[in-house]
Chains A and B, each alone.
Chain A
Amino acid sequence: AQKVTQAQTEISVVEKEDVTLDCVYETRDTTYYLFWYKQPPSGELVFLIRRNSFDEQNEISGRYSWNFQKSTSSFNFTITASQVVDSAVYFCALSGRGMYSGGGADGLTFGKGTHLIIQP
């Protein structure tokens, strides 16, 4: 069975601080996919990034960066110079390779989320 653990329930930082959200996953699949989603107070989940298990390159997008470490089964998310608009619940999610399409169409397994509060 797949599992995603986000141990940090809530993080509160002051604006402009850097913050890292942790994600640890468990899967038996040799090919799998990891995702981060943002859920702002409005409630709609917003896709942030997808990472394939065979691509361990870290990625940076503006103030966001992701660190994928297969050896420790972690996919951490860092926000640099945080802003009040970054306040939201952030979810890490995992998808397997998929039984029917051969390419991974399974439903996502989500962690419980980390509530990030950025104080002005």
Chain B
Amino acid sequence: DTGVSQNPRHKITKRGQNVTFRCDPISEHNRLYWYRQTLGQGPEFLTYFQNEAQLEKSRLLSDRFSAERPKGSFSTLEIQRTEQGDSAMYLCASSLPDRVPYEQYFGPGTRLTVT
């Protein structure tokens, strides 16, 4: 039974560079979420997919951020022209499909450091 996986686990990049993270959800989960967590804070919702459709985006998701889930399986989160303020842990979660909001299962996260 594999959980949510995220790659890479750590990423160090220079300001202005583009970065891309990958999330593989639990296989039967059709809902996929991205969150960002900074030190000492709770996770903040960024965006959500149901299958391949991106249904909700937070105001936190600036134009430099884009997320995709092309075949309704794995998802990628790209940050263009990174800024030091983008340094955070990026978390992915997935959940079962149903009308009731099932619990979200989280991956280990990708820690981004922008220098």
Contact = CB atoms under 8 A, between A and B. Distances in A.
A35 B103 contact: yes
A11 B100 CA distance: 33
Contact of A105 (B35, B50, B103, B107): B50
A4 B41 CA distance: 12
Interface string B24-66: 0000000101010000111111111010000110100000000
A34 to B, nearest CB: 11
A112 B48 contact: no
A103 B98 contact: yes
Contact of B45 (A43, A101, A102, A108): A108
Given A44-B106, A45-B91, A112-B41, A106 B58 contact: no
Interface string A23-51: 00000000001010100000111110010
Contacts of B50: 100-101, 105
Interface of B: 31, 33, 35, 40-48, 50, 55-56, 58, 89, 91, 93, 95, 98-109
